[in-house]
Amino acid sequence: MTSLDQNGPYHSECNALKAKELCGCGVYPMKGKVKGPAPNSEEGCLDGQCDDLLDEVLYYFKANMLFQQYSVQGAGDRALLYLTLYVHYVVKLSKGKTQEDMKRVFIEERTKEFSHPGDKSFPLAGFLPAPKNAAEAEEWKAYMKQCREELFNRLIPMLYKHPNADGHPDKFWMMFCKKKFLGKTL
């Protein structure tokens, strides 16, 4: 069962699972077809409302966006934090765009470089430790690239499930463009 701090944000069920860690983030099995360091699994790795970490990120996104503080309870929380920040970034990207536009954006985003823990520009430096070596940094980036692509594939249909008359994303997702998650952005 995903836990809720008393008057605080939701935490990942993945914290209870044993997993390899990269820069403090757990590498958990996930549903999906995107290849990468995380093993693909048809049924996911969780028993609750969510099948995998990415489902948790999407399920708890709106609730967790309302909090300004987050106490990390494990490797699942660190991954959840980074991926929540990424979902926020994608929601902001979708502002004023149709679903077809976002398919083109996805192609651009897949090739775009992004920072990792230990970089000066990394927004969650206080939450994720720097990599022990360059190999760990590259493996973390490969894992997050896999997660980002799979999240994008799952998020876009949700954003456009109830589009506005002009084909733009659902207003109940767009209201989170104005907020910053933990005061940070990608």
Residue owning tokens 């048809």: 42
Q: What is the pLDDT of residues 18-70, one digit of tens each?
A: 989 999 999 998 888 899 999 887 765 666 656 889 999 999 999 898 888 88
Residue 131's pLDDT is what?
95
What is the average per-residue pLDDT within 82-102?
92
Exposed e or buried b per residue across 133-147, where buried means at least 16 C-beta atoms within 10 angstroms of its C-beta: eeebbebbbebbbbb
Three-state DSSP at 25 gives strand
**Could you tell me the two tokens for 73?**
């309870």
pLDDT above 60 for 11: yes
Distance CA 63, CA 10 (A): 8
Q: What is the pLDDT of residues 123-152, one digit of tens each?
A: 998 899 999 999 999 999 999 999 999 999
